Amino acid sequence: MVFVTLKDTSSDFHCLEHFDGGDFVRWQRKMHFLLVTVKVYYMIMNPRPPESGGNEEESVAKTRERLRWDQDDEICRGHILNGMSNTLFDAYHTVKTAKELWNQLEHCYITEDATSKRFIVSKFFSYKMVDGWSVMEQFNEIKTILDRYSQHKLTLDEFIVVTSIIDKLPPS
């Protein structure tokens, strides 16, 4: 019965967008939620239990713990890989553990995300509203930019935001 519940829960995530190299932070948060839901997120935080080193007196509990870790690691790694575009899947499918895969993705895409933050800041401050286009449509575009701020954990003082938006209004 528990297996069916987990299967039903994980099948609800088939509609998640595949990570294609863009907006890593958003994808990472969604993937974090999925991995917590299927109870394998701990794989990203915990190393594999050590081998006994040939010790024949290893307890059955330790052996089971390691086998459980291997199984959960494969499930976690599979979910992460399944959440990627085909191109990225092909590039990362040979990574051995979920923890290693997660760390490689963070290392590669967090640097890109810093560039993305600079772009968002620049886009907000350089945005100008124009005549001939609905003020509400332009305001919604600014709001979308500001929503991206919160996605990247950036904050702006409310006074600065309001003043900037007023300055962006068209002369008319």
- Digit-coded pLDDT (tens) for 38-81: 999 999 988 888 776 656 666 788 888 889 999 999 999 999 99
Which amino acid is it at 49? P
Count of beta carbons in the 10 Å neighbourhood of residue 111: 11
CB 62 within 8 A of CB 49: yes
CA-CA-CA-CA torsion sign (42, 48, 50, 54): positive
Q: Which two tokens stand for residue 21?
A: 């190299």
Query: Would you state the pLDDT for residue 85?
Result: 92
